[in-house]
């Protein structure tokens, strides 16, 4: 059989040009979406009276056979198969004969590929959301176990104020929660049917695009045929959300890499998520986290790749758009694998609460000293200054700030009295940060409940 578009051509495609042009090596991944779309399209053609019921039955039966061949891994791709669309149609013709030629009535590969890709993305979004929730569930479980586990909180990677490890865990939970909401939002704009737009100008056949949308599970029908065949915004959005997930996971990974060093010793990775060195027997390397950090580069790169493809494209379809699929597939595979590894690494993470606590330094309570003075009526700016003096005095003496004597404190300011000693209890500091969203165990319990509610609701929304 000749090419789909062979009519006006007499010469053969140059061999390199053929390899350049073919996309079957990667878009074969769209087989399921492509066949689903074709079955629905055959039925729409029959409803519109363009083909007979009997023809429709033969087409659908043939398409189901092609589907089975793919599902059972016995579909044989032929050298003439340019892309997944031509491959399916070529096989269909072998199975059902000339009637196969009626399937493409009023349809173009332009509206077909846009439809297939949207179906693929909708499935990918569902899978990504599930994978995100698994990471969130792992963070939530760790947070529940560490409501009272104190550790230094950092800014500029310098010890800043005491926090709880549970609070740290949930800080990543909420980042991922926003990503999940972005995915949901992205799904709304992806769930728009392009089929029925033809090559660019629409179809002259009376197919019901609404019915077609319902059959394929799309929430809406595209409003403009030019836009429908050339729009890849939905992919760009998906790649952006995936890139942002990558950035969030990369930051989480970086924290855990630092926390797992001998110098910190806050956490240890399970053997299932670390590797050894071929040279140095003592080493346990946090490869899972390093790769997580590294993979984010691919996710960001794939987004950039697509945006550059889209930039400057004239209306409507251009073959450049075929370059949308490899970044899409790579991103979906990368983000799903990364999420599942991160979920496991977090779930099995061993936390060394004693090491975390030992890293607390009374100087991290200097802010609490200032807050203590504020409660005694001193304006915060002055209190901050006086507390700074105490830090400097301790440093000059070579002692810890909590080792200053009452006389020392009084030498700094008459506002101080023996109650300042009370300030130097880390638990007190943490539990004082009790406003909603703070690190106190009580506030954290409330935060945990709201995170649990969030996760329950998200999971219920897709009925998993």
Which lies closer to ligand ARG via its Cβ, residue 113 or residue 339?
113
User: In the block, which residue shows the tokens 């836009």?
Assistant: 227
List the catalytic residue out of 277, 405, 461, 464.
Answer: 277
E-strand ranges in 299-404 read: 350-351
Which lies closer to ligand ARG via its Cβ, residue 23 or residue 296?
23
* Site map 263..302 versus ligand ARG, x via CB under 6 A: ----------------------------------------
Q: How far is the CB of 150 from ligand ARG (least distance, A)?
A: 55
Contact between 230 and ligand ARG by CB under 6 A: the answer reads no
Could you tell me which stretch among 132-140, 316-324, 366-374, 403-411 binds ligand ARG (CB under 6 A)? 316-324
* Site map 24..43 versus ligand ARG, x via CB under 6 A: ---x----------------
**Is 156 one of the annotated active-site residues of the chain?**
yes
192 forms beta bridges with: 220
Helix, strand, coil % over all residues of the chain, rounded to 5: 70, 5, 25
Give the H or E element holding residue 242: helix 233-259
221 forms beta bridges with: 193
Total of chain residues touching ligand ARG, rule CB under 6 A: 10
Contact between 83 and ligand ARG by CB under 6 A: the answer reads yes
Please report how many Cα atoms fall inside a 13 Å half-sphere around the Cα of residue 72, on the Cβ side. 7
Which residue among 70, 234, 266, 317 contacts ligand ARG (CB under 6 A)? 317
Contact between 197 and ligand ARG by CB under 6 A: the answer reads no
Helical residues (DSSP H) of 9-160, grouped into ranges: 15-21, 24-27, 31-47, 53-71, 84-96, 109-145
Dihedral of the CA atoms 244, 307, 83, 59 (nearest 10)? 70
Report the distance separating Cα 215 and Cα 195, nearest Å: 12
Contact between 81 and ligand ARG by CB under 6 A: the answer reads no
Contact between 231 and ligand ARG by CB under 6 A: the answer reads no
CB contact at 8 A, 229 and 296: no
Report the distance separating Cα 239 and Cα 244, nearest Å: 9
* Site map 320..339 versus ligand ARG, x via CB under 6 A: -xx-----------------
**Is 277 one of the annotated active-site residues of the chain?**
yes
> Of 102-131, which residues contact ligand ARG (CB under 6 A)?
109-110, 113
Contact between 23 and ligand ARG by CB under 6 A: the answer reads yes
Largest Cα span, the chain: 101
159 forms beta bridges with: 154
Could you give the residue numbers annotated as active site?
A: 156, 277
Contact residues for ligand ARG (CB under 6 A)? 23, 27, 83, 109-110, 113, 317, 319, 321-322
């Amino acid at each position: 059989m000749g090419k789909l578009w062979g009519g006006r051509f007499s010469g053969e495609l140059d061999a390199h040009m053929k390899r350049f042009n073919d996309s079957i090596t990667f878009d074969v991944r769209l087989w399921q979406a492509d066949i689903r779309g074709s079955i629905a399209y055959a039925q729409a053609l029959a409803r519109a009276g363009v083909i007979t019921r009997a023809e429709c039955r033969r087409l659908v039966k043939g398409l189901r056979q092609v589907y089975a061949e793919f599902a059972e891994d016995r579909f044989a791709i032929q050298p003439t198969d340019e892309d997944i669309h031509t491959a399916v149609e070529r096989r269909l013709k072998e199975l059902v004969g000339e009637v196969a030629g009626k399937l493409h009535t009023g349809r173009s590969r332009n509206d077909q590929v846009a439809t297939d890709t949207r179906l693929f993305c909708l499935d990918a979004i569902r899978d990504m959301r599930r994978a995100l929730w698994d990471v969130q569930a792992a963070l939530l479980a760790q947070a529940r176990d560490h409501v009272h586990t104190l550790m230094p909180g950092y800014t500029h990677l310098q010890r800043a104020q005491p926090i709880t490890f549970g609070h740290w865990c949930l800080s990543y939970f909420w980042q991922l929660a926003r990503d999940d909401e972005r995915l949901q939002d992205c799904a709304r704009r992806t769930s728009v049917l392009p089929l029925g737009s033809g090559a660019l100008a629409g179809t002259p056949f009376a197919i019901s695009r609404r019915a077609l949308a319902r059959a394929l599970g799309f929430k809406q029908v595209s409003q403009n045929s030019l836009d429908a065949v050339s729009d890849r915004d939905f992919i760009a959005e998906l790649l952006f959300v995936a890139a942002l997930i990558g950035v969030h996971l990369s930051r989480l990974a970086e924290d855990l890499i630092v926390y797992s060093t001998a110098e910190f010793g806050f956490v240890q990775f399970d053997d299932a998520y670390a590797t050894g060195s071929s040279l140095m027997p003592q080493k346990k390397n946090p490869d899972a986290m390093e790769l997580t950090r590294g993979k984010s580069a691919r996710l960001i790169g794939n987004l950039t790749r697509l945006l550059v493809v889209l930039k400057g494209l004239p209306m409507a379809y251009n073959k450049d758009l075929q370059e949308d699929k490899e970044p899409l597939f790579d991103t979906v595979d990368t983000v799903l694998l990364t999420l599942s590894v991160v979920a496991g690494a977090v779930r099995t993470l061993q936390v060394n609460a004693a090491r975390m606590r030992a890293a607390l330094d009374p100087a991290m309570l200097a802010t609490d000293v200032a807050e203590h003075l504020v409660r005694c009526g001193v304006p915060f700016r002055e209190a901050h200054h006086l507390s700074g003096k105490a830090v400097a005095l301790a440093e000059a003496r070579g002692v810890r700030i909590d080792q200053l004597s009452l006389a020392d404190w009084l030498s700094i300011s008459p506002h101080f009295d023996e109650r300042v000693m009370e300030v130097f209890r880390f638990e007190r500091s943490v539990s004082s940060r009790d406003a909603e969203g703070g690190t106190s165990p009580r506030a954290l319990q409330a935060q945990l409940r709201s995170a649990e509610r969030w996760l329950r609701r998200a999971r219920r929304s897709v009925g998993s």
